[in-house]
Every structure is written in structure tokens, then in C-alpha cells.
Amino acid sequence: SQSSQVEAFPVSTGPLAYESALLRDAAGLAAATGPLRSVHVIGVGAGRALEGTRDAIPGVPIRAWDISEPMVDACRRHVAER
């Protein structure tokens, strides 16, 4: 059986601290199986988390997905502005 750990993040740290922790942990777990070839972000929304993803996993291609066409458009605009 696999163990789980639940941690609370203080509201004052905001969602980016939570996302950064998830990305750091996911990158570490994925790297244990070999080099990362790509990252898929499902439910990307407006794309604000993509910068953190790029920072956490530099040099790895990122594919972003969302079911909402308006969110895909918003993400494209956000990425174009960076």
C-alpha cells in the first residue's frame, strides 16, 4: 500500500507556494524514473501556473490543455505576453 501525507499551506502564502511545492515534488518523483521529456498541464486555465512550471522544470517542453476554448485563448495571450 502507498502512504499519503496531507499538509496545509497557510493562506498567506497564496496558491503559488502550493503549486511550487507540487511541481517540485512531481519533478523529483518523475526524475527518479529517468529524464523528463515533456510536461503536460491539464486544466491550464489562463496559464498563470505555466511560469512556475517552467521555473521548476527548466528546459523541458510544456504542453498545456484545457477543455474551455476561452481559457485556451486566455492562456495563449498570457504566454504571448511573457
Q: What is the pLDDT of residues 8-66, one digit of tens each?
A: 555 554 456 777 787 778 878 877 888 888 888 889 888 888 888 888 788 889 999 99
Across residues 1-6, what is the average pLDDT?
Answer: 58
Which pLDDT value is given to residue 2?
A: 56
- In angstroms, rounded to a whole number, what is the distance separating the alpha carbons of residues 75 and 65? 10
Which pLDDT value is given to residue 73?
A: 92
- In angstroms, rounded to a whole number, what is the distance separating the alpha carbons of residues 17 and 37? 25
Which pLDDT value is given to residue 51?
A: 82
